[in-house]
Every structure is written in structure tokens, then in C-alpha cells.
Amino acid sequence: MSDLRIRPAARGDAPAVLAFWRLAAQGTSISDDEAGVARLIERDPEALLLADRDGVLVGSVIAGFDGWRCHLYRLAVHPDARRQGVARTLLEAAEQRFLALGGRRGDAMVLERNASAHPAWRAAGYEPEHQWRRWTKPLADR
């Protein structure tokens, strides 16, 4: 959409982003606090991409590249702004960033039970790989 602006988040965006995720995102993460968002922006100032329309935050995606893998997290669109191409535009911006950095494949964590999100990922060209499970270990209380 012509009035949609994709931009990297700044540190001052953290409270608004956290409020936006509570409204629009699926689930929560161990890093969902101001320190977590600030650390992400400090570590990689281009990773958290926000979509604004008329100055209002309508979408987000984290496009993290660690030199090896292109990680996509927190794809979320405001409930009032869905089916208007916001997620598609965010994923295109994320993929352009990955390509510019030498990334080769987008890699998204998508909950099996979050079936309502699957069509958006498929429409953007992503396919599930059924041979993997996520293996995790908490490293800190927060």
C-alpha cells in the first residue's frame, strides 16, 4: 500500500511495540519486556521492522540475521489492518534485508496450532518442514 512505511524500530519505540504485540501478536516470548526489545535494537538496529500507516503502528516483524541463518519472528499485524498486504510488505522488506546481508533462506517459527497464520506464510512462499522439533533450554529466569 502506498501509505505504508516500513522502518527499523528505534529504542524509544519499545513501549509501543510491546503494547502492539499484546494486541496483535500470537503468544508471548521470554524476551517480551523493555530490556528485551532494547537489547535486540542495540544488538542489531535494523532487525526489528515496523510498519506505520499515517503514523500509527500497524505491523511488525523481527528479521534477525546472525551470519548464518535468517530468522523471522513476531510477524504481527493490527487486527484492524489485516488482509491489506501489511504482512506481505513486511516479509518483502525482511527478505530484502536478508539478501543484502548474504542470507540464503528465510526461517520462521510458526506454531502448528496457529493455523490462521499459515496462509500468510504460504502466500509469501514459506513451507513447513516436518522433520524438525524445536529444542530449547532456558538460560535465565528472564
Ligand X SMILES: CC(C)(COP(=O)(O)OP(=O)(O)OC[C@H]1O[C@@H](n2cnc3c(N)ncnc32)[C@H](O)[C@@H]1OP(=O)(O)O)[C@@H](O)C(=O)NCCC(=O)NCCS
Alpha-carbon distance of 45 to 33, in angstroms, equals: 17
Residue from 49, 57, 63, 77 touching ligand X (CB under 6 A): that is: 77
Q: Is 24 in the site for ligand X (CB under 6 A)?
A: yes
Q: Name the one range near ligand X by CB under 6 A: 4-12, 14-22, 24-32, 127-135.
A: 24-32
Q: Per-residue x/- mask for ligand X, residues 37 to 66, rule CB under 6 A?
A: ------------------------------
The Cα–Cα gap between 96 and 99 comes to 5
What values do phi and psi take at 92, rounded to 5? -60, -40
Contact by Cβ (8 Å): 80, 59: no
Any idea which residue has 524476551 for its cell? 31
Residues that bind ligand X (CB under 6 A): 24-26, 75-77, 82-88, 110, 114, 116-117, 119-120, 123
